[in-house]
Structure 1
Amino acid sequence: MGLKEYASKRQFEKTPEPEPGLRHKGRRLIFVVHKHAARALHYDLRLELEGVLKSWAVPKGPSLDPSLKRLALMVEDHPLDYKDFEGVIPEGNYGAGGVIIWDRGFYHHPSVGDENENEKLLLAGLRKGDMKFVLEGEKLQGAFALVKTRKDEKSWLLLKKKDRYAAKGEILKENRSVVSRKTLEEMLEADRSKSFRQKKLDQIRLHEAMESEDLQDAPVKPMPHGIQPTLATLVKEPFDHPDWIFEVKWDGYRAVAELRDGDVSLYSRKGISFDKKFSPITEALRELRFDAVLDGEIVVVDDQGRPGFQMLQHYQDSGSGHLLYYVFDLLYFRGHDLTALPLLRRKELLKKILPSTPRIRFSGHVREEGVLFYKVAKEKGLEGIVAKHSQSVYEAGRRSREWLKVKTQLTQEAVIGGFTEPGGGRKYFGALVLGVYEGDELMYIGHVGGGFAEKDLKDLREKLNPLTQKECPFPVKPETNAPVTWVKPEIACEVTLSGWTEDGVMRHPVFLRLREDKAAREAAREKPLGSGEGGS
């Protein structure tokens, strides 16, 4: 084939790759395997023959498993000096991206005699389309074969022969260069173009996630739809435990994202579409280009990164703050159901595949130290923390005792059952009459008159007007300090409180926000587990 095609594809004043040139061969034939983040991340197998490196692109990489047949596409010959090449091919050049020497060593024909006979036998196999050889590398060892398919002149299969070096394990997990000891990501850190570097890093992480063993015991299933997320159980106090991880409890809307064939469905825990309401998130998810189901929280943060629910509720009108989707779980990925995998494995895979974008963020965690993490969250004015057992499975639609929430202030979700007439100079209404569901009955828990801005009073009254009714929604009509208008119990809200009376009525409640993302029927009295119950 020669080096003419190699030279025609490259501008050597713009790429660090070696210029073409024949070099006197050594006593033994060499091989090299490059790992290359080009347009598609792949591996290049290069075998020295006739003074050049005969080369094959192997999309899924080599394997030590004899049961696997790996496609190998023959490409142009490369100069022998390419055996020493590592670095970054700049954007705009052929094959732009990072390159590392993933493996290298010597190779020979299985029935080698002297070196002259060795090369003749290898060349004969190459021309025949059935090339057998033995690798003596740092990662790859033993007998292999390249067999030409009938598809076309360039398509071959790379096979591992059965011998003492054959193995079922995934050799591609060894992802460092045998020369520089760098990964592809570390090699790309030297590139000056930030956008090009980030694009390549995202590509590498996604490809390596597919190479990993994380998916091997995840069953192949159709993508699920309309998932109800796992819910956390309230506990009184934080705890430390080596088997648990701790995340920020984001003050936003819980949201599941389904990504399939470039389409995105983003919806709330009660199945309400967020596609239009938070279209910037939907558009950012559409750019991910893989099939997956994600679980996370939509938030709006200020310039200091603090989330604010009021900013989120008014984001469409004001546009103030930064709209983000913090993703903390991966339920499905490229045909595989991940819900039965341990949480930490799901999160590790999520971190690999999730690119760094202005709108989509990976929600990190700390291990073991829940008490300190809670203290920091409280100091920063955050809503709380979520503790999760590191080996927990994903229990869709259930409230799990392996996911626990610890709030920095006591809150309660409630259903609005009525409102009282305003007094003094107040407009629209005086207080909301609130309840929670116990079975099928709406039980009174108190009324709240504080915490409203005038705009809140007006907006809420407009939402309540169409729901007014004569019948009291509570089985026992509660006493109020002003005339009351009853409403259909369809709107959920959240209040802060200092505690509960013996009769189950809230002490000092203050209105916090509407919970339009939650169904009214979900509002139940939250009874925290005892201190430390979740940590054992």
Structure 2
Amino acid sequence: MKFVKIEGGVKLSQCIAPMSATLSDEPAFDDPKWLFEIKWDGYRAVAELNGKDTRLYSRNGLSYNKAYPKIYNELVKMKVDAVLDGEVVVFRDGMPSFQAIQNYKSTQNLPIQFIVFDCLQHNGKDLTKFKLIERKEILKSILQQSDVIKYCDHVEEDGVALFEQATKMNLEGIIAKRMDSKYYPDKRSKEWLKIKNVKVDDFKIIGWTDSKASRQYFGALLLAREVDGQLVYSGEVGTGFTNDLLKSLYAKIQPLEVNECPLDTPVKKEKGFHWAKPKYSCQVQYVEMTDDGHVRHPAFLGLRKDK
């Protein structure tokens, strides 16, 4: 297998891009045709199990073999020929922590798990055309669980009750999936739905504003989101940064400065705005989206290193 060196690691030249869920505008629901899982706040990962040739990588093919050795070493031990889809999750005080996994080099003392929720291949057989409930039954029967490798359980029909429990536990939300859904790699499907407790989404960083007297480097990051294949301005986020984070982010985005607005439909450049090539994605928590499409009361959570 060939590799391509990129910033932050090694990218595989051939990999499987996982299927994605669609963000739901509707609340949690009950339906006998659907099953429901906890939405884990971590990094999506695909594992190709084949002894010493086992590979663990991100949704865009970034190798995780060395990034998460505790998980990789457990996967290598598994005497199973399979392709698994799941989430790498780091726990702080018993709860999934996105910031902990983002800074895993300094949080390796915290528990880490690969929580597996789907099986795409087994013993060379393609399972993507199987029903989800059938794939999960196969997965549960072959997965060798440990403190690090876990099967993602689910409830059938009772989505409202699971969402209420997730809310009480202050989890990010739940994933609703049609029990008969097939698996479509590299596709976003409405047969899988993200139902979030808190509004947390990914945005492209398209620039920054001038720093203020109270802080160095920059005042806020300028954000955009993808709507129907186009980048649309989504406002700015100016909270959630430490001084060290401000410094490291500025070092990444300042060399990307451009004169032209990187949006498909340009917006007016306000005083103090600096445009940048939209290379980096970040995760932002917010209360709601305003009528003009801007995030309201946002807080920066971290860079999406897997995107």
C-alpha displacement of 1:229: 0.9
Report the CA distance shift for 1:505/1:349 in structure 2 as closer, same or farther (over 3 A): same
Structure 2 partner of 1:46:
none
**Could you say which residue in structure 2 is the equivalent of 1:240?**
30
Secondary structure of 2:137 counterpart: helix
1:285 paired with 2:75, answer yes
TM-score, length-scaled by structure 1: 0.53
| Amino acid in the other structure paired with 1:320 | N
Residue 212 (structure 2) aligns with: 423
Q: Give yes or no for contact 2:28–2:163 (8 Å, CA) kept in 1.
A: yes
Q: Is the 8 A contact 2:51 2:77 kept in 1?
A: no
- Residue matched to 1:62: none
Could you tell me whether the CA contact under 8 Å between 2:101 and 2:107 is conserved in 1? no
**Match runs of 1:363-378 below 5 Å:** 363-378=152-167
Q: State the shift of 1:500 in Å.
A: 2.5
Alpha carbons 2:56, 2:63 under 8 Å: kept: yes
Using CA pairs under 8 Å that are at least 6 residues apart, name the structure with larger relative contact order, 1 or 2.
2
Match of 1:414 among 197, 203, 210: 203
For these two proteins, the number of residue pairs brought into alignment is 292
Q: Which runs of 5+ in 1 are unaligned?
A: 1-224, 519-536
- Does residue 256 (structure 1) correspond to residue 56 (structure 2)? The answer is no
Residues 244-263 of structure 1: per-residue CA shift (max 9 Å, x gap): 11101000000001112431
Q: Is 1:265–2:55 an aligned residue pair?
A: yes
Distance in 1 separating the partners of 2:20 and 2:297? 27
Superimposed CA distance per residue, residues 261-308 of structure 1 (whole angstroms, 9 cap, x where no aligned partner): 43111111111111111122111100002211000000101242x100
Distance 1:256 1:504 in 2: 33
Opposite residue 486 of structure 1, the aligned amino acid is: W
When residues 262 and 303 of structure 1 are mapped into structure 2, their CA distance, relative to the original with a 3 A threshold, is same
Instruction: For 1:409 and 1:308, locate their aligned partners in 2 and report how far apart those are by CA, in whole Å.
Output: 14
Structure having the larger proportion of residues in strand? 2
Structure 2 distance, partners of 1:326, 1:404, is 18
CA contact (8 A) 1:417 1:433 kept: yes
1:332 alignment partner in structure 2: 121
Give the direction of change, closer, same or farther, for the CA distance of 1:414–1:332 in structure 2 (3 Å limit). Answer: same
| AA in 2 matched with 1:340 | K
Deviations 1:178-205 (A, max 9, x none): xxxxxxxxxxxxxxxxxxxxxxxxxxxx
Q: Does 1:361 align with 2:150?
A: yes
Residue 405 (structure 1) aligns with: 194
8 Å Cα contact 1:262-1:289 kept in structure 2: no
Report SS of the residue matched to 2:245.
helix
Q: 1:504 to 1:381 in 2, by over 3 A?
A: same
1:441 shift after superposition:
4.3
SS in 1 for 2:232: strand
Match of 2:288 in 1: 499
Tell me whether 1:380 sits opposite 2:199 in the alignment: no
Kindly state the Cα deviation for residue 440 of structure 1 after the two structures are TM-superposed. Answer: 6.0
Read off the aligned partner of 2:33 and give its amino acid letter: D
Pair 1:321 & 2:86 matched: no
Seq. identity, % = 44
- Residue deviations 1:479-536 (CA, integer Å, cap 9, x gap): 44x5122211110112122223332222222222211212xxxxxxxxxxxxxxxxxx
Partner of 1:310, secondary structure, is helix
Following TM superposition, by how much is the alpha carbon of 1:466 offset from its aligned partner in structure 2, in angstroms?
Answer: 2.6
Matches of residues 452-463 of structure 1 in structure 2 within 5 Å? 452-463=241-252
User: What is the aligned partner in structure 2 of residue 144 from structure 1?
Assistant: none
Answer yes or no: is the 8 Å Cα contact 1:262–1:290 preserved in 2: no
- The match for 1:60 is none
Q: Quick one: which amino acid aligns to residue 254 of structure 1?
A: R
Letter in 2 for 1:277: A
Give the partner amino acid of 1:245: L
Corresponding letter in the other structure for 1:354? L
Aligned mates of 2:239, 2:301 — CA distance in 1: 9
Equivalent residue number for residue 394 of structure 1: 183
